[in-house]
Amino acid sequence: MKKILLISIAALLLPGCADKNQYEQAILEQLQLDKDIKDYKASPERMAKCVVDSTSNHMPGVFGLDPTRLTAYRNYTKMLTLSSSKDPKKTLEELRTDFGSPKELAEAHTNYTESLMECMSASIAESEDEAKAEK
């Protein structure tokens, strides 16, 4: 009985983890192309994790596997991959609908951008501290 319960819970958790992982992967792909990340020798992987954690704090949903949070991860991923969409205009309209309104889409973009800037400044400060410690 315990094994069946464990397998059932695992089956429910895997799709949620996949949504979060896809979001983190979309962020990582953008960060790997970012010139500032390379110039400051920041770790794109650490930055991506930081951005996911920071944006998650301001996403709908109470906890990581809340269905509304999982939907938010999917929507944020779609938002980040808008430029690579085959039909960006259609995707933008879908995003406006998915987020509920153009205002909520703008708020999500602001959440992402602010989180990115916070993580960037934290990473830069950390790398400067490490450079001072090495001297």
* pTM, two decimal places: 0.82
Is the separation of the CB atoms in 94 and 77 below 8 Å? Answer: no
Residue 61's domain comprises: 2-134
| 64-91 tens-digit pLDDT | 677 888 899 999 999 999 988 899 999 9
Provide φ and ψ at 41, rounded to 5°: 55, 40
CA distances in angstroms from 7 to 81, 88, 122, listed in the order given: 33, 39, 39
| 39-50 tens-digit pLDDT | 888 889 999 999
How many other C-beta atoms lie within 10 A of the C-beta of residue 26?
20
Express as a percent the part of the chain with pLDDT over 90. 54
Q: How many domains does the chain have?
A: 1
Express as a percent the part of the chain with pLDDT over 70. 85
